[in-house]
Chains A and B, each alone.
Chain A
């Protein structure tokens, strides 16, 4: 099973709201990723967790806060977002290293009003 699940599928939030995106995988992968994808563009890496530790933060604004409670779960906490943060947020996982295939979830379509 190569499935990465994400919830919710769609999210609409105001600029003062606090919300969370969730990602789950049961493939035993030890690397998990958050990406942001704007329309007609490739995904942009935001964060990488390796063995539940944050290993890469691509200079993402602090209004995005990642969390990895265990090896199967990855959360992205959102607070005080801007309309330009509206995008498809993708979670991915891979076995361990950069050479391992990344498997993507279906994404959460986020709209910030």
Chain B
């Protein structure tokens, strides 16, 4: 119940295209859903986050879509750029996960010029 399932494992998108990464969860007590971006040799950096009372959040080219009934959320990167090439992790928090971020397995995104 504490799992977050992330797909795909890897993704190749042409420059200018839309990159879409999906996550699904089971625990309905989760109430905070961040996405982290990690470049090789660096720590994860918070990209965007959403709470379940909102169905969509947009920051620049990055959008989170949230479907509470389906227990799914996704990251959309519009006009993908080579600089977006990184590993993306979805995660979830809840009352009963204490301090723990429950992480997805990660998606390695490559944007081809």
Check: B93 CB closer than 8 A to any chain A CB.
yes
Chain B residues, CB < 8 A from A40: 87, 106, 108
| Size bracket of the A interface | 20 to 34
Are B105 and A42 touching (Cβ within 8 A)?
A: yes
CB 8 Å contact bits of A39-74 with B (1 = contact, 0 = none): 011110100101000011000000000000000000
Find B44's partner among A31, A43, A56 (CB 8 Å cutoff).
A43
Chain B residues, CB < 8 A from A103: 46
User: Number of B interface residues, CB 8 Å?
Assistant: 27
Distance of A41 Cα from B38 Cα, bound (Å): 11
Distance of A70 Cα from B31 Cα, bound (Å): 30
Q: A101-B46, A101-B49 are in contact. Are A42 and B98 (CB under 8 A)?
A: no
Distance of A50 Cα from B100 Cα, bound (Å): 13
Residue in A closest to B108 when the chains form the complex, CB atoms? A40
Are B99 and A98 touching (Cβ within 8 A)?
A: yes
Are A102 and B101 touching (Cβ within 8 A)?
A: yes
B 72-100 contacts with A by CB, 8 A: 87, 89, 91, 93-95, 97-100
18 A-B pairs with C-beta separation under 8 A: A40-B108, A41-B106, A42-B103, A43-B101, A45-B101, A55-B99, A56-B98, A90-B43, A92-B43, A98-B93, A98-B95, A99-B31, A99-B32, A101-B49, A104-B45, A106-B42, A107-B42, A109-B41
